[in-house]
Structure 1
Amino acid sequence: MLAAVTLISLSACAEKEPPPAEVTARPVKSMLVAAPAQGGVRNFPGRIDAEHKAELSFRVPGKVVKLEVTEGEQVKKGQLLAKLDATDYQVVVKDRQATYDNTKKDFDRAKDLVDKGHISRRDYDKIEASFKSASAALEKARLDLRYTQLKAPFDGSVARRYIQQFEEVQAKQTVFSLMDNTQLEVKFDVPENLILRLTPAKTDAEKGGKVSVWAAFDTVPDKRFDLVFKEIATKADAKTQTFQVTYTMPAPAGLVVLPGMTANVTADLSRALEERVVHFVPVKAVSANGKLDSRVWVVDEASMTVAARKVSLGRMKGASIEVTEGIEPGMRIVTAGSAYLAENMNVTLMKQTEQAEPRAEDIPVMDKQ
């Protein structure tokens, strides 16, 4: 009888115990942390220019009586390009020559007379000064006559001609633009953050060799032409905040590359950049704990729970923020609703097209981690 009563009592107690509470998993939007791209290879639009170029002009005014070359013509160093009417300059040379001859005779006589004491030292000094002045005037007249001929200062091609024959030109008025197209400059603009991460020492063998930079052209996109570093501008462009970098290359054989054309520049900066392993995550993926430390929530896909991970942040980039420390490739982090999570909370992963709307009653108390 007692056993029967006990059995009935236990059965009644068993019927009154509530069933175990179902654990509700919060849906979260997430992403896998990917390995950062190798940021050493950069592409830039480049501009071609001649390494050696000059705007040529006469050093004296006059009428152009002869134009020896046309635009696009190849010229040699010392070749005559244009000539002014030299008549007036020849007359001046003859006049200065006559004055020089007279003052030289006076000076030669004065040297003999002063030695014998027949003239004073003061008179001798005046005669000597007149002779030197006449000599300088003759030299200038000869130079002016020589300057009526304009010659090429180096081998190159006539890029542009600015005057016509029989035209009156002024001294220092541009007559020709001359370029040496055998050696070309390739110029491109580099952003500020990249310039700041470059140091001159990294162009030496000390850091594993020079930065590898090459150019390609649309006409032969599969062929690359190695470039040699020349200079970096020390002042940024006021509008773009970029720095102009200049490299050089010899004119490619069998390919017409002229100043003003464009090139596709590729720079392999892997050996020159001090790369940090960084990741960009959505701003919404980052929240703060009670100590205002930045954190992200990492999903344990085995237990489908979340745990906070302290992170260090870098710069903003649109709707993303740079995480410099705290996460690694392969981690899955919560990207939406992170403010409504708690340690070891069960979660389910949403599809990318879905978005959870947190409920006020589900907001946990912020932990002190």
Structure 2
Amino acid sequence: MVQPQPAGELADTYPGEVRARLEQDLAFRIGGKVSKRLVEVGERVKKDQPLAELDPQDVQLQLEAQRAQVAAATANLQLVRSERDRYKTLFDRQMASRSQYDNAENLYRAGEARVKQAKAEFDVSSNQAGYSVLRATQSGVISRRLVEVGNVVSAGQTVFSVAADGEREVVISLPEHSIERFKIGQDVFVELWSRPDKRFPARIRELSPAADPQSRTYAARVSFTADKVPADLGQSARVFVPVAGEVPLAVPLSALSAEGGRPFVWVVDPQSSKLTRREVKVGPYGEDQVPVLEGLKASDWVVAAGVQVLREGQQVRPVDHANRSVKLAAQE
């Protein structure tokens, strides 16, 4: 007899890897030569902890040059201020023309602007001197390291990747031909390879809008909905996506044949014991059974073994696993 498919097996399975929900690529904001590397892959870091340093010589020289510019602009401002004050006194006493006073006033204003500009450039250089030290933006674990001491890096070039502490997720790839079955918020289950005896409830949190150009699969992120899931970074996992609709019937794998890519089973007539080939639509294969979505009824009898030597209309003598004759009866 055709058997109901076990509810726990009524799901498509996709392999995945445990990742941090928040993963950051860290890079220097300026270019330069890496002089120090302070952490290794797998090392836990805290927020604002130094991770690497650039050779500070160039930025320090630039900072000193800007400091000198500020000093020069300040000295010039003092000079033009005194000139303006002198011409103001002379103008009030009608000993200097209006144009001479206006020229001194304009020089003073230009001196003020030059001081502001020099101080702003000094602040930029000071910030860049601080940018020569790369710091962690949040606590987590170093998951990738892409430079060594002595490498010359450009601004924005990834140096480290940090998996932030907190929530863990499973990253999977979904097939292109059935992507319409999946949606954000869909309930799934996750089985960790370290805990094969337990499935954790989860849901699809993120679904890529475009397929990968090489694998033609869609990346998806699955987040756990249970608290305190023992998932570690890099762990292997399996994501079970329940099949929507009614629970299908199931037959042994040995009962299934195919021709031209179209699966079929041999159905036995209970009255005449003759065979009829019937095409079926099947679901994802299990370890020893395959669900039949269309083509069979619960009352049907199918041949479970030796299907490769059968033919249409052939009369058979049904037996069980102990080779004992079985009397078929039509089921209501």
**TM exceeding 0.5:** yes
CA distance 1:211–1:163, change in 2 (3 Å): closer
Q: Is the deviation greater in 180-189 or in 137-146?
A: 180-189
Q: Are the counterparts in 2 of residues 54 and 177 from structure 1 also a CA contact under 8 Å?
A: yes
TM-score by length of structure 2 reads: 0.61
Partner of 2:236: 262
% identical aligned pairs: 23
Distance in 2, matches of 1:54 and 1:137, equals: 30
Q: Is the 8 A contact 1:61 1:171 kept in 2?
A: yes
For residues 125 and 75 of structure 1, the distance between their equivalents in structure 2, rounded to whole angstroms, comes to 50
Q: 1:53 to 1:313 in 2, by over 3 A?
A: closer
- Aligned with 2:189: secondary structure? strand
Tell me which amino acid in the other structure corresponds to 1:51: R
Shift of 1:153: 0.8
Q: If you compute each CA radius of gyration, which structure gives the higher value, 1 or 2? A: 1
Pairing of 1:31-110 with structure 2 (within 5 A): 35=4, 38=7, 40-62=10-32, 64=34, 66-83=36-53, 84-86=55-57, 87-102=60-75
Q: 1:277 to 1:48 in 2, by over 3 A?
A: closer
Q: Compare 41-50 and 82-91 and name the one that shifted more.
A: 82-91
Q: Secondary structure at the match of 1:188?
A: strand
**How far did residue 73 of structure 1 move?**
3.1
Take 1:164 and 1:333, find their aligned partners in 2: how far apart are those partners?
65
- The correspondence for 1:245, drawn from 220, 224, 232, is 220
Q: What is the 5 A alignment of 1:1-369? A: 35=4, 38=7, 40-62=10-32, 64=34, 66-83=36-53, 84-86=55-57, 87-102=60-75, 118-119=101-102, 130-131=114-115, 133-163=117-147, 167=150, 169-172=152-155, 173-200=157-184, 203=185, 211-218=187-194, 220-238=195-213, 240-249=215-224, 257-259=232-234, 261-263=235-237, 265-270=238-243, 273-274=244-245, 300-302=269-271, 304=272, 324=294, 327-332=296-301, 338=312, 348-349=315-316
Gaps of 5+ in 2: 89-97, 260-264, 285-289, 320-332
Q: Deviations over 1:211-240 (max 9, x none)?
A: 13223123x433444445321122234555
Q: 1:237 to 1:177 in 2, by over 3 A?
A: closer
- 1:332 is displaced (CA, Å) by 4.4
**How much has 1:154 moved relative to structure 2?**
0.7
SS of residue paired to 1:236 = coil
> Is 1:158–1:178's contact at 8 Å kept on the other side of the alignment?
yes
For 1:221-263, what per-residue CA distance to the aligned partner results, in whole angstroms no more than 9, with x for missing partners?
334444453211222345554322212359x97968233x422
Question: Is contact 1:197-1:274 (8 Å) kept?
Answer: no
Other structure's SS at 2:63 match: helix
SS in 2 for 1:179: strand
Q: Name 1:22's counterpart in structure 2.
A: none
1: distance between equivalents of 2:302 and 2:153?
A: 74
Task: Structure 1: state its 5+ residue gaps.
Answer: 1-31, 204-209, 285-295, 342-346, 353-369
CA shift, 1:43, in A, is 2.4
- Contact (CA 8 Å) 1:215, 1:226: kept in 2 or not? no
SS in 2 for 1:349: coil
